[in-house]
Structure 1
Amino acid sequence: MIRHTTWRAASLACLSLLSTQAAQADLIADIPAGTGYAAWELCTRTQQSGDDYLRVRWSYTAPKVQPLPIVWTIKYTPGSKVDVSSFIPFITHKRTAIYREGLGCTLVPPGATEAGVRAQAFKPVVLPQPSVQSWPAGEGPTEAARLTPAQAALLATHGDRIFTEATTKLSQKQNALAFLVARDGHLVYERYARDYQRDQPQLGWSMTKSLTGLIAGVMATDGRLNLDTPVGLTQWAGSAKAAITWKQLLNMAPGMAWSEGYDGASDATEMLFSQPNQGAWAAERPLTATPGTVFNYSTGFATVATYAMKQALGGSHQALYDYYQQRLFAPLGIRQGVIEPDASGTPVGGARGVLRPVDWLRLGQLVAQGGQWQGQTLIAPEVMKFLVAPSPASAEYGGFIWRQPATAIPDAVRARLPADLVWFAGHMGQFLVIVPSHDLVVLRMGVSFEKDQARALVFEAVADMVEQR
């Protein structure tokens, strides 16, 4: 909190900064999005991930929501909640993120109350004792001895590149938190930033979309949904949107309008930081194209998917939570993982997956193995084939999973990458890269303010590892 700045001076300073910084990429400059982003970020990273409050506040959050820190007021209650508001007259836009054990953090926007959210019935999953077996079956240590000396040296070099900062400016730092590599089904490299450990779950942001796709894949395998049939949302009944299929939704091609930007007001920021029932709100976006024909990347569409899954399983958050915990997380050995829910109880399937890095890596290994896991078929071959295949609307995207060819990867690096490469991607430098033909899975997580550099470093590492096979 800035105590020595008058309201008038702070207001003028904020307005001045807004006029000069509003065009910066990825800047969340409007107050409702800024306070919502800050409250949820502070809550999740400190209370679910166990990170240091001051580091999260000043190194990870403040640079992202400039100029809000000039005029923000934060009330931090460990183990309970975070309140963030602006003291600009008439536009305080207070946002509260509350913590619930087993569910992580939930933002409480207008239209919801803290008491109402806390009153929602919930029973967390009971975790078995961790196995001492080697990863991925258990929690055993890294098996670096499986690497040749040349491979170990290569990974060390890329690890140093990923964790080395080229600047002292907070708004340009990479803030790498984790870099992990699995090869031939074994964890061979595992490195964390200073003061971070394996058991700290980390926010995957839009990597959650791919996790949501895998949950849909399990449900399709179990016969709980049919990818070729309409999604079946009750609020779409009798409208043109009633014909939208699961495949079209998972391909990011339902034909609905959506603006995804995070540089101010957009559908994404409105949904995430100002709507209590995010899936229902996103499902109301108008139909603007024939379903299946136009690719439109959307955090909202992935949250519509979890909203629809929740309906398909009976309508309760507990039912969907129990399903993905029991049918996906438990078989994979994923511990402490959750998709944080919105204020209505629907998991935010487009953005709020919080898993330990070793568990994000397990999801990648599942994809590398074609949906097979220790003798079990978690995702049927034909379903997994759909998830990683090019969609009719975009060759770069499958079922909530990115794939080759991808124009976001620098041309020189892309030319060195195998055709079957796919990946999960998340805001601020989250990358889970999978090369099934080489049984290679690479994870990079962090809070990067230079996402293009973070992407380039990860894919350069993957290209080098593929070529050194």
Structure 2
Amino acid sequence: MKIFKRILLVFILIIAILVYFNYSKLNIISGYASKYMASSINIGGHSSTYIIENDLAMPLIELTDTEFDTQERTAKASVYGLMTRKAVDRGGLGSVLVNNDYSEGEQYLQPRRNFKKIDKPYPYGHLPKKDTVFENVDYDLLQKAVTLPFSNEAIQKTRTLLVLYKGHLLHESYIDGFDKNTPILGWSMSKSVLATCFGVLQKKGRLKVDWPAPIAEWKDDERRNITLNHLLRMQSGLEWNEDYGGISDVTKMLFLDSDMTKAQLDKMAIAKPTEIWNYSSGTTNLLSGILRQQFRSHQEYLNFPYKSFIDKIGAHSMLIEADLKGNYVGSSYTWATTRDWARIGQLYLDNGKWNDEQLFDAEWIDYITTVTDLSNGTYGAHFWLNAEGKFPDVPKDLYSMNGFQGQYVFIIPSKDLVVVRTGLAEDPEFDINGFLSSLIIAIK
């Protein structure tokens, strides 16, 4: 009995030590689980059981006890009963984590949407796709290529795949539980959507990317030299830690902050602009705050992404979630069906023109695909690049929208291709080079 008591005491001591050193992390862990659960059900349409068994089955997050209230449409999560976090649904603003700034019953402005159907075949409208047979496509090789992302389900974890060729739907496939109407969280693909807002505003003559960032708090120190271009290229020189493995700048921003536009704003410079390249979700949310400044009212800001390009191209499933202060979380929280993610890619492949309307200038493509110094040829302006052949068997003109766990919109102008892949594993588990090169071989 004494031995048992001693073992129990040691066990309790170990647990106490673990809790002591990790207690603050529990806020982040339960915050992630409750926020993801709320959004995945309220927007994505999945069941709580499915989310727990799949999306939340990851280190540390799997420790949470997460539940969803179907009547209130809220989610709660805790770790062994500690640090309970709650996420609530706010309609067109998505789901948000509750903290001391949250006021239950408060009415929030909603983005005003135009869900009018476009009478053209997909992807340019909402009619069924036009059946087209291309003489230069080897359909046997195509079929082999599109099965590759699903060939090892346990490793690659692909959920959806879609291929557009010359503005035609060449292929789409979905695992059980997903279809053409299932919204997918794009994670950092959201950054490219947020950047597109700046491309649209530049076309309208309302700003230029070489303008100084309009941040009053920076006017009296070295940060006054930071431009919109530096922010779009992640080369502001500001301090930032993009570590998702613990308590860091990015995890505190996403799971603790009421106003996510301030996380990067408050950081000091550790280098002059262009001297370093430092990927920062805080920078994107700072840009979201700058975007908000361009409008006379909060309502205009909320309407803008949808009114200026999202609803115009028929991407009606797309929803950008906002923080508690009503700022779009452009770094991470945009949802859309696989088909609507592909529409964004097609808009870029068509140089900003959609059904005879130029939504942003073709020169914007040149801008976002110009290599940013010190990024090893992998980054432009809120888009990823293949300029230096990271994927050696894929054309170097490939550029893409990338998100956590392998959400991708690949745009390959030289091949007239837009390819969307979503899932729970990224490169190298999902072999980008192998898949895309096999796909390209099928198109002569």
SS of residue matched to 2:428: helix
Inter-partner Cα distance in structure 2 for 1:282 and 1:248: 13
1:330 aligns with 2:307: no
Distance 1:42 1:234 in 2: 37
Partner of 2:346: 365
> RMSD between aligned alpha carbons?
2.8
Summarize the alignment of residues 178-257 of structure 1 with structure 2, pairs less than 5 Å apart: 178-257=160-239
- Take 2:100 and 2:297, find their aligned partners in 1: how far apart are those partners? 20
Residue 236 (structure 1) shift:
2.9
How far off its partner does 1:415 sit?
Answer: 2.0
Q: What residue in structure 2 maps to residue 26 of structure 1?
A: none
User: Residues 264-322 of structure 1: CA distance to partner in whole angstroms, max 9, x if unpaired?
Assistant: 11111111001111111221111111112211011111111111101122362x32221
Select 1:127's aligned residue among 112, 115, 124.
115
Asked whether the equivalents of residues 147 and 188 of structure 1 are also in contact (C-alpha less than 8 Å), the reply is no
- Residue 106 of structure 1 corresponds to 96
Q: Deviations over 1:3-27 (max 9, x none)?
A: xxx9x979956966999xx9xxxxx
Closer/same/farther in 2, CA of residues 11 and 112 from structure 1, 3 Å limit: farther
- For 1:274-289, what aligned pairs fall within 5 Å after superposition? 274-289=256-271
Shift of 1:59: 1.4
Distance 1:233 1:208 in 2: 23
| Larger Rg belongs to | 2
> Equivalent of 1:83, from 63, 72, 76?
76
Distance change in 2, residues 1:38/1:73 (3 Å): closer
Whole-Å separation in 1 of the counterparts to 2:68 and 2:353:
46
Alignment of 1:381 with 2:357, yes or no, is: no
1-side partners of 2:16 and 2:401: how far apart?
36
Distance change (3 Å), C-alpha of 1:78 and 1:245: farther
**Deviation of 1:150 (Å):** 5.8
TM-score (norm 1): 0.85
| Rounded Cα–Cα distance in structure 2 between residues aligned with 1:132 and 1:14 | 63
Q: Which runs of 5+ in 1 are unaligned?
A: 1-5, 23-28, 168-172
Find the aligned partners of 1:161 and 1:10 in 2 and give their Cα distance: 48
Mapping of 1:63-78 within 5 angstroms?
Answer: 63-66=58-61, 68-69=63-64, 72=65, 74-78=67-71
The code of the aligned residue for 1:180 comes to: L
Unaligned runs of 5+ in 2: 1-7
Q: Indicate whether 1:56 and 2:51 are aligned.
A: yes
Checking the alignment, whether the CA contact within 8 Å between 2:149 and 2:435 is kept in structure 1 is: no
Q: Secondary structure at the match of 2:422?
A: strand
CA shift for structure 1 position 123? 4.7
Counterpart selection for 1:459 from 413, 433, 436: 433
- CA distance in structure 2 between the partners assigned to 1:465 and 1:165 by the alignment: 17
Count the aligned residue pairs: 434
Alignment partners' CA distance in 2, 1:77 and 1:304: 34
CA distance in structure 2 between the aligned counterparts of 1:381 and 1:354, rounded to whole angstroms: 26
Counterpart in the other structure of 1:170: none
Partner residue in 1 for 2:387: 405
Q: 2:272 aligns with which of 287, 290, 306?
A: 290
Q: Which residue of 2 aligns with 1:176?
A: 158
Alpha-carbon contact 1:248-1:254 (below 8 Å) kept? yes
Change (3 A) 1:231 1:192: same
Residue 145 of structure 2 corresponds to which residue in structure 1?
158
Q: Conserved in 2, the CA contact under 8 Å of 1:142 and 1:190?
A: no
Greater displacement, 9-18 / 255-264: 9-18
Among 260, 267, 277, the alignment partner of 2:249 is 267
**Fraction of identical pairs, as percent:** 25
DSSP-derived class of the 1:96 partner: strand
Using the alignment, how far apart are the partners of 1:73 and 1:389 within structure 2? 43
CA contact (8 A) 2:160 2:172 kept: yes
The correspondence for 1:429, drawn from 378, 382, 406, is 406
Q: 1:151 to 1:105 in 2, by over 3 A?
A: farther
Answer yes or no: is 1:38 the counterpart of 2:33.
Answer: yes
Instruction: Please state if 1:420 is matched with 2:420.
Output: no
Residue 140 (1) aligns with residue 116 (2): no
Measured after TM superposition, the shift of residue 120 of structure 1 is 2.3
Question: Mean Cα displacement is larger for which, 178-187 or 223-232?
Answer: 223-232
CA contact (8 A) 1:111 1:275 kept: no
Mapped partners of 1:30, 1:199: distance in 2: 35
Task: Tell me the CA shift for residue 37 of structure 1.
Answer: 0.9
Residues 391-437 of structure 1 show CA distances to partners (whole Å, capped at 9, x for unaligned) of: 23433211100012367x4xxxx222212110111001111111111
Q: Does 1:438 align with 2:415?
A: yes
Aligned residues of 1:255 and 1:287 also touching (Cα < 8 A): yes
Q: What are the superposed Cα offsets for residues 323-362 of structure 1, whole Å, 9 maximum, x if unpaired?
A: 1101111221110212100111100111011111111111
Normalised by the length of structure 2, the TM-score is 0.89
CA distance in 2, matches of 1:43, 1:387: 33
After superposition, the Cα gap between the structure-2 partners of 1:463 and 1:39, relative to the gap in structure 1 and judged at 3 Å, is same
Amino acid in the other structure paired with 1:460: G
